[in-house]
Amino acid sequence: MCCRLEKSLSGILSNMGLGLLEACMFNQGQAIESKVIDSKGEALGMIEEIILHSESGRVAFAVMSFSFLDLPIMLFPIPWDAFSIADEDHLILDIDKEKLRHAPGFARDQRPDFDRPQLSRKIYHYYGHSPFWEVDEENRSASFIFEEETFSLKQGNC
| Global pTM value | 0.68
CATH number at residue 65: 2.30.30.240
Number of domains composing the chain: 1
pLDDT in tens, 95-150: 999 999 999 999 988 988 887 888 999 999 999 999 988 876 655 544 444 444 44
Interatomic CA distance for residues 76 and 99, integer angstroms: 12
Q: What is the largest CA-CA distance in the chain?
A: 71
Interatomic CA distance for residues 98 and 106, integer angstroms: 18
Of the candidates 139, 61, 67, 74, which has an alpha carbon nearest to the alpha carbon of residue 106? 74
Which pLDDT score is estimated for 67? 87
* Host domain of residue 75: 3-156
Of the candidates 157, 133, 153, which has an alpha carbon nearest to the alpha carbon of residue 145? 153
Which pLDDT score is estimated for 32? 63
Between CA 117 and CA 131, with CA 74 as vertex, the angle to 5 degrees is 25
